[in-house]
Structure 1
Amino acid sequence: MKSIKSGENVFHLFYFGGMITQSDLLEYEKSIKDIGSEFSSYDKNGDFYASLDSFTLDVCFILSQMTIQGIISNTINSATWDSIKYVVLNIWNKVKNKEIGKGNSSDFTKKTISFGIKVSLNKNTNFNFNLSGDLSEKIVLESLDKTLELIKSQKTNSKFKHPSLLTYDKKKGKWKSLDVDEEMRKIALKQIEKQKKDKE
């Protein structure tokens, strides 16, 4: 189901149909409406993607701008945050360990779905909090609470950067950030070096 809405109070879910049902979407919409916000969903089935790489989230729940401002200004109340965590945990349980195929009949591979929340401070500053991997419900909830202080401590970028990808370190109890622009630069340099060697 594709129902893209706009506005500062809108939460967005990008997902693959079959993993999330219409009943699930209605439940999420009710939970979000109960905290005075709007819910928007987009089924990515049938869309073409050039790549599903390790720097992106295949399924993502995007926090509303109003929520982000509430986090930054320390005015978000615990009931609102608990409702958001409930929705995120429910989605996590629906999509964890699920796989998606990519490629064509001659070059077809499967990969485990990545899921997380996306936070946008402005058009230049975005963060993907990856909730995939060997995580328990307890750790997922813990990691979500840890996003609050991290979001409040971030500064906005003056120029565009690809969204930083963050993974949760269970042992240290904190988020680790990967500079996607730097990783893409490394990959590009390796490809250039390979092309040079192939020509020799």
Structure 2
Amino acid sequence: MHGPASPSWLLVALCAATGAYCLLRMRSAVEEQRRTAGAEALMGFGMAVMAVPAAVAAPPHWAWLGYTAVFGAAALRALWAARTGRHHLHHLVGTCAMVYMAAVMAAAPSARHHAHGGAGVPLVTGALLLYFTAYVLLSGFRLLPVAAVAGTTETAGSTAAASRGSAGTPGWGDRPELSQACRLSMGIAMLAMLVTL
């Protein structure tokens, strides 16, 4: 991407760490969790590679075409999976955004500026920015701690959880708040990449 080097390296680190965590989530006992984690690991590592500053390693033209093909295949897979659940639609938008960014980067720099009219934000970029802004805000809101409505409700919940013991406790890779934080960090990274596009 075409941003300053220091923020780009932070973006690479964030995306790589998220991809690594998603790989660990693939060890889940739940098949749907493994499938989702695999798709998110691909997104995380793909975004990390795309975020490497161009001054350090400028990929050749064919590499961007390769990214377009890989994420195009991932988009088709997400489209197929979306038949069974609406939560796959976000993966579809994410993979389509990766296809779009790779296709833009594959274009010659002069062609890219002429294609967008040289001024303003292109329509597709603007739509993706709006989507990921809304997604990040909603995901961040979902991660906020829920205030206890009544102290007795919270105490009863704690007692019930304690009585279940460790058998009812999910593994750290299956915890929904960690998965949500993972998706939030990728949404923030996607926003940063779209802004520098």
Fold shared by both chains (TM-score > 0.5)? no
TM-score, normalised with respect to structure 2: 0.27
Q: Which has the higher strand share?
A: 1
Q: Which has the higher contact order (CA 8 A, sep 6+)?
A: 2
Structure showing greater Rg: 2
Q: Which has the higher helix share?
A: 2
